[in-house]
Amino acid sequence: MDNILSTQDLSRDFISGRDTVHALKNINVRFRPQKLTILRGRSGSGKTTLINLLGALDIPTSGKVFLEGDELSGAPQNQRDAIRCKKMGFVFQSVALISLMSAYENVEFGLRIADYDPKNRKDRAEEVLGLVGLTKRMHHRPGELSGGEQQRVAIARAMAHRPQIVFADEPTAELDSHTGLQVVWLFKKLIEKEGLTIIMTTHDPSMMEVADHVYTLEDGEIIDER
């Protein structure tokens, strides 16, 4: 299997009033398993729209998304939801942890929602919090953690249920550049240790060195690939 995820002439239009916004125009991208791919581009270039389509959170206007060779975009909603819950994880710019729960409880709660084997939830939550370097802080609540630590809890929660692909939409946008780079290096470590495939968006040029693959978007089109 060469690509874990790919698109074919993927387009997404948004109709607002009388105007149609062509947010994505005939996008053809491929993602290799166990790699870190960055989608870069200015605000409004279509990064979030693409992530939402790849993650089956949205339906294309035309074109297709393939997951391991099967068309994801054409599957019925309940099947898309099931695939998303089992095979995908998501990290967002604003961390969205539950403030009354400790780091451990946030991750354990995520495992519960993902219907992860109850017998193994505790061990798995502790294991992933260890992987993101938070063993000593796992009983702290989000408010007692730094921004970077909170994002690491969110990453642990996104990957605890052993998804194949983790999508991270501007996960470093609210962090300083040093802390942001640490998050990207953590992604590389998780790819190595857990066999994840990670697709992240950013508009920070300093992250590009660390990525295996970079697509640059402009006005809904891929203008560069390396």
Ligand X SMILES: Nc1ncnc2c1ncn2[C@@H]1O[C@H](COP(=O)(O)OP(=O)(O)O)[C@@H](O)[C@H]1O
Choosing from 29, 38, 46, 55, the residue that interacts with ligand X (CB under 6 A) is: 46
* Cβ-contact 36, 187 below 8 angstroms: yes
Residue type, 51: I
The size of the interface with ligand X (CB under 6 A), counted in residues, is 12
| Closer residue to Mg ion in complex, CB, 22/141 | 22
**Residue 45 interacts with ligand X (CB under 6 A): yes or no:** yes
SS3 207: helix
**Residue 48 interacts with ligand X (CB under 6 A): yes or no:** yes
Instruction: Report the alpha-carbon distance of residue 29 to residue 161 in Å, rounded.
Output: 26
Which does residue 134 bind out of Mg ion, ligand X, none, counting CB within 5 to 8 angstroms by kind? Answer: none
Task: Give the start-end residues of each E strand in the chain.
Answer: 5-16, 19-27, 30-31, 36-40, 62-67, 70-71, 88-91, 165-169, 197-202, 213-218, 221-225
Which does residue 45 bind out of ligand X, Mg ion, none, counting CB within 5 to 8 angstroms by kind? Answer: ligand X
Rounded to the nearest whole angstrom, what is the least distance from the CB of residue 174 to Mg ion in the complex? 13
Which does residue 84 bind out of Mg ion, ligand X, none, counting CB within 5 to 8 angstroms by kind? Answer: none
Rounded to the nearest whole angstrom, what is the least distance from the CB of residue 213 to ligand X in the complex? 18
| Closer residue to ligand X in complex, CB, 48/151 | 48
Stretch of 37-45, 85-93, 108-116, 137-145 lying at the interface with ligand X (CB under 6 A): 37-45
Choosing from 6, 7, 48, 172, the residue that interacts with Mg ion (CB under 5 A) is: 48
* Cβ-contact 111, 123 below 8 angstroms: no
* Cβ-contact 4, 31 below 8 angstroms: yes
User: Cβ neighbours of residue 127 under 8 Å, at least 6 residues apart?
Assistant: none
Choosing from 3, 11, 21, 216, the residue that interacts with ligand X (CB under 6 A) is: 21
Rounded to the nearest whole angstrom, what is the least distance from the CB of residue 224 to Mg ion in the complex? 18
Instruction: Report the alpha-carbon distance of residue 79 to residue 23 in Å, rounded.
Output: 26
Rounded to the nearest whole angstrom, what is the least distance from the CB of residue 41 to ligand X in the complex? 5
Distances in whole angstroms, Cα of residue 124 to Cα of each of 109, 130, 209: 12, 10, 31
**Residue 7 interacts with ligand X (CB under 6 A): yes or no:** no
Instruction: Report the alpha-carbon distance of residue 148 to residue 171 in Å, rounded.
Output: 10
Which does residue 197 bind out of Mg ion, ligand X, none, counting CB within 5 to 8 angstroms by kind? Answer: none
User: Which residues contact ligand X by CB under 6 A?
Assistant: 14, 16, 21, 23, 41, 43-49
